[in-house]
Structure 1
Amino acid sequence: MLETLVETLAIVLDGSRLLYMLLGISIGLTIGLLPGLSGTVGMSILLPFVYGMDPYAGMALLIGMVAVVHTGDTFPSVLLGIPGSSGSQATIMDGYPLAKKGQAARALGAAFFSSMIGGVIGGVILFSIIPIVRPVILSLGSPELFMLALLGLSMVGILAGKSPFIGILAGLFGMMLGVIGSAPSVPEYRYTFDWLYLYDGIPLPLVALGLFAFPVLIDLLVGKKSISESSALSGKWFEGVKDTVKHRWLVLRSSILGAVAGFIPGLGGSVVDWLSYGTAKQTSKNNETFGEGDIRGVIAPESSNNAKEGGSLIPTLMFGIPGSGTTAILLGGLLLMGVEAGPRMVTEELSLTMSIIWTLVIANIIGAAACLILTRPISRFSLISPSKLVPFLTIILIVGAYQTSQHWGDLLLFVLLGIIGWIMVQLDWPRAPILIGFVLALAAERYLWISVSRFDWEWVYRPGVLIIAGIIILIFGSSYWISKIGALKGAKAKGGNV
């Protein structure tokens, strides 16, 4: 393990791969500091360009982008009071009041430094967990892998939030899209409607771009949000660094909490920062200043949302279970580069896994350092008007969509899926389940076919299969229960307001 880790560092620091990492970091910081964009949008934009790339270079690009998105999104959260992404909402609670008090640089310094430490801790946790899960992964056969694919699909209930039934339907719709084209087990083509373009199936980048990037374009174009005209920074960012060192135990506690929350599929994203913020407020002395400009209210969520990325990669890489739209796209990126997540990531592809860990750590350090150095000039980018931003993004998305297979059908499907994604946004329906169903469809079908061929239907009674089946039932039950509780609370709130 340690030898592989050291050898992989030389691969990561290779000139061309380091360049891809720096490119990913630059894109991630840009995506983060522009309000309304997110890691899912950034991943969907980059996905078409990793097709056929060297896996080490491709993952350097993708992980470099993902690692720093929640570092860059601190700018609009602190300076403008507008969340750069769903993972930076809690930072506004104390970051924006600090900016209004003339302590914006202090808040940004604390946020960037704690983000860097959180990201490094997340990478260390990811490395530490490999020896523990490796024996478990190597003991899995095709029946267990099929059940793990179903376990990944069961996450749609959690990701659907208040609408688990809608989430399940969305996941099934994603599976329907995923099985278009040639079957993995028998020589036949399905649901192609005699259109030659569909014989190879719908390209994954188009699904990601259409569902997540296209609706953002429309919202940016028609939305007229009021943004503060003032972006002046005052104070010194080094004061925030000293605050972070002073509250080092809060950083450590929040980082571990973020990594654990990231490990549990469906708990990441906009949940982890509020979870760490609430925990920090409840466990801190003199917490009456939270929400009024307390630096601890910046340190806690910023530490956890970067550490979350390391935790979320554990089920994604080791078991092929995506817990969010970002990790689902990451799984697709691996497939485009000829790598399949699962047991191979700790055996044949162990060096690639180690390169991901190194990229996660190095990208967090570089991203935080860049933000600290470029605090003043970067802050001006968050004031770009949608009318200037949309044409630039449109060109990138069209090129990315057409790059998939260089067929006019790419553009047609991009617009069609984009309209579906925009309608789902308007109806407040979850889109991540579609992506998860799409990514796991062929894997579930392949493992089921192998299991039936080798064991007939006796594989159903294997202990590992029964244990995973119990977990799936528990997840569906908890999703239904949580949605019911949310509905009851909403009804009581309405009744109380009448």
Structure 2
Amino acid sequence: MLEASLAALPTIFSLQHMLHLMLGVTVGLAVGVLPGLGGIVGMALLLPFAYGLDPMLGLSMLIGVAAVTTTSDTFPAVLMGIPGSSGSQATIMDGYPLAQKGQAARALAAAFAASMIGGVIGAIALTLAIPIARPLVLAFGTPELLAMTFLGLCMVGVLSGRRPLMGILVAALGLLIGTVGAAPTSPTYRFVFDQDYLFDGFQLVIISLGLFAIPEILDVLAKGGAIAKHAPSRVGKGWLQGFRDIFTHRWLVLRHSVIGVGVGIVPGLGSAIVDWLNYGYLVQTAKDKSQFGKGDIRGVIAPESANNAKEGGALIPTLLFGVPGSAGMALLLGAMVVVGVEPGPRIIDTNLNIVVVLIWSLAIANIAGTIICLGFSRPIAALTRVPFPVLFPFIFLLVTLGAYQATRHIGDLIVLVGFGILGWIMKKLGAPRAPLLVGFILSTLAERYLWLTTSRYGLDWLTRPGVMAIIAITVVLLALSLRKKKSQEVEP
């Protein structure tokens, strides 16, 4: 790892790499500031531009988006009491009361510094995981890879919150959609209905844009007016106090960063629970609970540390096992396939240089995102008052151009509209959309590994120790998910 890191330094700090990384950081900051969009929309917008790029450049650009969205989403959370993304919901609890007291700058400074430290700790955790995991992942054969694919599919129950059964059904729909076009194990075409466009199947870029970007854009547009329904609080003064708070509560930052990494490692948890889990743990373990919900700076530091740290944790199963650690990592997983990099145990031997570049990119993006947020806090905060109809034409142009770049066929736009309608209906019905994307991405891998495994091992592959261990982990995680669902149903 040390040799690979040193060898990658010229590439990492090259002008071309830094420009692409900063493009991702810029888009990530923008979508984080605009409530309702989120990092997965930013990644979906940039995914088409990864086509034709060097794998290091394209993937670093997407890492830049993922790394900083949970930094800039603090602006609407603190200044308006509106979560910029799902990962900043708990920040509102104490961040917005601090802003109402005239301490918005203090809350923002503490949040940005905590996010940066958490992101760097996540990158360090990913670095340490690679040599530790190396002996394990090199022992993986196709049976273990097949079991890991099933684990990834079963984890959609966790991605689905209170509706694990619905998530599994949606993932099954993703598997079905993934079978359209050429079969990966035989020269046959399925569900093409004599349409040349369908011979290559559906494109990941179009599905992701349709499922996530279109519904969110339509919802924000339908609300009309400015993004901020209420006048945002002023940023004010108190930046130095926010940095002092980080030093005072340095062990709090470290503890919740480590928790964030742990949550990120478990496939499917991601930003859906990391902020509330850390906020709840903070409140339970704190000696003085009197100020929580009224403007306690600890209530800002804990969730923001964990939010950014979880990205490093989520990259561990994504890169090393090919199992997406979160919905955003599902997009990154698809992007890796698009640019010709196969995630999984062999990536350590075949593409260790790319892994090292991604780790450095994650750390650099977190530092750069924090500096930009601190330096441009007032103008960035002003974006929350821009009417969304003004931004809509630009964003819609990016979406349509991105979809059309997939194959440059009119069918791209037709499929975009179709999946956009499907995504909007699913959102209105409360059906989880991320499992469909996970099912689609894992469809080809599951079919290929199943064919290779059964043709070589028959049913004996089920008795391999590694497979049995993975199946046991899958059963335990599913049981915990169902138990959590039942406990939530009995709550008043």
SS at 1:347 equivalent: helix
The 5-angstrom pairing of residues 326-405 of structure 1 reads 326-405=328-407
2:271: which partner in 1?
269
Distance 1:77 1:267 in 2: 21
8 Å contact 2:120–2:363 — kept in the other structure?
Answer: yes
Shift of 1:53: 1.4
Q: Distance in 1 between matches of 2:255 and 2:414?
A: 48
Query: Match for 1:445 among 432, 444, 447?
Result: 447
Within the alignment, does 1:314 sit opposite 2:313 as a pair?
no
Contact between 1:71 and 1:367, CA under 8 Å: does it hold in 2? yes
The 1-side partners of 2:228 and 2:39 are apart by 23
Residues 268-277 or 424-433, more deviating:
268-277
In the superposition, the TM-score normalised over structure 1's length comes to 0.96
Contact kept in structure 2, 1:110 and 1:299, CA below 8 Å: yes
- State whether residues 126 and 316 of structure 2, in contact with CA within 8 Å, keep that contact through their aligned partners in structure 1: yes
What residue is the counterpart of 1:121 in the other structure? 121
Cα deviation, 1:200-250, whole Å, max 9, x if unaligned, reads 110001110010011011101112576222442211312211111111000
When structure 1 is superposed on structure 2, of 179-188 and 472-481 the one drifting more is: 472-481
Q: Which residue of 1 is the match for residue 191 of structure 2? A: 191
- Which amino acid counterpart does residue 2 of structure 1 have in structure 2? L
Aligned to 1:101: 101
1:40 aligns with 2:40: yes
Shift of 1:167: 0.7
SS in 2 for 1:84: coil
Matched to 1:254, the amino acid is: H
What SS does the corresponding residue of 1:240 show, helix, strand or coil?
A: helix
- Work out whether residues 53 and 337 of structure 1, in 8 Å CA contact, stay in contact via their aligned partners in 2: yes
Q: Distance in 2 between matches of 1:294 and 1:457?
A: 57
Aligned length: 490
Q: Quick check: 1:74–1:88 contact (8 Å CA) kept in 2?
A: yes
- Counterpart amino acid of residue 57 in structure 1: L
Percent sequence identity over matched residues? 51
TM-score, with structure 2 as normaliser: 0.98
Of 446, 460, 463 in structure 2, the residue corresponding to residue 458 of structure 1 is 460
Structure-1 residue corresponding to 2:145 = 145
Q: Match of 1:321, as an amino acid?
A: V
Q: CA contact under 8 A between 1:273 and 1:304: conserved in structure 2?
A: yes
Q: Deviations over 1:401-444 (max 9, x none)?
A: 10111001000010101101101100111001000000000001
Q: What is the aligned partner in structure 1 of residue 290 from structure 2?
A: 288
8 Å contact kept, 2:80–2:228:
no
**1:407 partner amino acid:** H
Q: Which residue of 1 aligns with 2:489?
A: 487
* Aligned ranges 1:195-344 → 2 under 5 Å: 195-224=195-224, 227-344=229-346
The whole-number CA distance in structure 1 between the counterparts of 2:243 and 2:203 is 44
Q: Deviations over 1:335-374 (max 9, x none)?
A: 1100111012211111111111100001101110111111
Task: State the AA in 2 paired with 1:134.
Answer: R
Aligned 8 A contact 1:260 1:311 in 2: yes
Q: Which residue identity does 1:441 align to in structure 2?
A: S
CA deviation string 1:305-362 (max 9, x = no partner): 0000000100111001113210100000101100111012211111111111100001
3-state SS of the aligned residue for 1:289? coil
Native 8 Å contact 1:120 1:307 kept in 2: yes
Residue 414 of structure 1 aligns with which residue?
Answer: 416
SS of the residue corresponding to residue 341 of structure 1 reads coil
CA distance in 2, matches of 1:410, 1:255: 41
Asked whether the equivalents of residues 52 and 338 of structure 1 are also in contact (C-alpha less than 8 Å), the reply is: no
Looking at structure 1, the residues matched to 311 and 326 of structure 2 have their Cα atoms a distance apart, in angstroms, of 11
User: How many Å apart are 1:102 and its aligned residue?
Assistant: 0.7
Q: In 2, distance between residues paired with 1:324 and 1:177?
A: 20
**CA–CA distance in structure 2, aligned partners of residues 276 and 9 of structure 1:** 35
- Listed one character per residue, the Cα deviations across residues 99-142 of structure 1 (whole Å, up to 9, x for unaligned) are 11111111111110111000000100110111111111000001
Contact 1:28 1:69 in 2 (8 A): yes
The residue aligned with 2:133 is 133
Moved more, 452-461 or 73-82: 452-461
Amino acid at match of 2:394: F
Query: What is the aligned partner in structure 2 of residue 156 from structure 1?
Result: 156
Give the distance between the partners of 1:211 and 1:308, measured in 2 at CA: 24
**Is residue 179 of structure 2 the alignment partner of residue 179 of structure 1?**
yes
Residues 167-222 of structure 1 show CA distances to partners (whole Å, capped at 9, x for unaligned) of 11100000011111101111111111111001011000111001001101110111
Aligned partner of 2:65: which letter?
M
What corresponds to 1:496 in structure 2? none
Whole-Å Cα distance in 2 between the matches of residues 324 and 254 of structure 1?
19
8 Å Cα contact 1:33-1:382 kept in structure 2? yes
Q: How far does the alpha carbon of each residue in 1:247-278 deviate from its partner, in whole angstroms, 9 at most, with x for none?
A: 10000001001010111112211311111112
Please list the CA deviations of residues 434-486 of structure 1 after superposition, one character each: whole Å capped at 9, or x if unmatched: 00000000001111111122223322221212222222222333322222222
Give 1:136's aligned amino acid: L
Aligned pairs for 1:65-84 (under 5 A) are: 65-84=65-84
Cα pair 1:112 1:368 within 8 Å, conserved = yes
Q: How far apart in 1 are the matches of 2:174 and 2:187?
A: 22
How far, CA to CA, are the matches of 1:282 and 1:168 in structure 2? 33
- The whole-number CA distance in structure 1 between the counterparts of 2:369 and 2:228 is 28
Structure 1 stretches lacking a partner, 5+ long: 494-498
Name the SS of the counterpart of 2:432 in structure 1: coil
Judge which range, 63-72 or 469-478, deviates more.
469-478
TM-superposed CA distance for 1:143, in Å, is: 0.8
SS at match of 2:229: coil
Comparing 448-457 with 62-71, which one deviates more in the overlay? 448-457
Say which SS state the counterpart of residue 343 (structure 1) adopts. coil
